[in-house]
Structure 1
Amino acid sequence: MSNADDEFHNFMTSRWPSLVRTAYLLTGSHYDAEDLAQNALARAYVKWNHVRRSDDKAAYVRQIMVHAHADRFRRRTVREWFTPRLPETPVADQTAHVDRRDALMDALGRLPARQRSAVVLCYFEDMTHAQVAAALGTRTSTVRSQITRALAKLREDGLLAPLTEQPTATPAGLRRPVQQKGTIR
């Protein structure tokens, strides 16, 4: 194996859980999440010499994954419906409670693809608006409006309250990134 192959292998094995978690939040299905993460890594491998020179390899591959998800979403002819049933294999999403996970996936499943991507990258990957804009290939103002609209829709539908009400500590997935101002209400 060459040095580039070793470097890609090390990157892939270290980032796999995070990529699958993000893909799961984007797709709502463990199986689709693994396919999406694998597809993103396959695309990254083809461009690895370019990816390895980037400032943030993980952000580059996340961007590939978001674009691959958008491509899958456009080509899908049969609409899939998310169910409250959890996958048999646990996903490393750090969501401790089944009912909260169901509420989370239901809420994310009701959002349009661009809003869902912006919310997942901002709140679950702790990316700044600028990083989300770079990953989605759009402007920062567009990201802010997508997130604002998504949160407004979740509030309007009454889906945000079950996610933010917590008897104990805040799970990592519901924290707002430190670099951002404001709160989820």
Structure 2
Amino acid sequence: MAHGEVLEFEEYVRTRQDALLRSARRLVPDPVDAQDLLQTALVRTYGRWDGIADKRLADAYLRRVMINTRTEWWRARKLEEVPTEQLPDASVDDSTEQHADRALLMDIMKVLAPKQRSVVVLRHWEQMSTEETAAALGMSAGTVKSTLHRALARLREELERRARDEDSDNNGNGGLGAGVPEREERERCAA
């Protein structure tokens, strides 16, 4: 395309852009899709600009390109869709609970001695066998088993203790201590 035609096309887009975008919005309901549609049509029209003998017909040409493009998109989307009798259950993975569990586990691991922590990490997180863990830590397989047993028992105790502490906080006055009436607590929250 010659330099003069490029400038002519740029001027056309600058002056007709709003009207063409309104046409695109009538073709597709989503405003972002309408902008994409117009942009795609402009790119396609740019390549054929010198073939449009009567530039007064450029709007009609461009609208036709938008309609054809929209039809292509619709057909492509239609091929991707598979009709079913029943909608599938939509589930969104919420990893909040998983992150909370991991944070709790990392916190209670602090109660273990370094040797116990090493055994738990290698056996359960790294999924090493007893023999691999023993070799990595320079201890016998029997020592790995007994250390792991004591470490897991200690972790269970700590979890139970924390659960009891949490229950006693929740059964009291929201952890605010005994003797604080509920009305005073509500007033404090409202302030």
Higher relative contact order (CA 8 A, sep 6+): 1
Structure with more helix by fraction: 2
TM-score by length of 2: 0.38
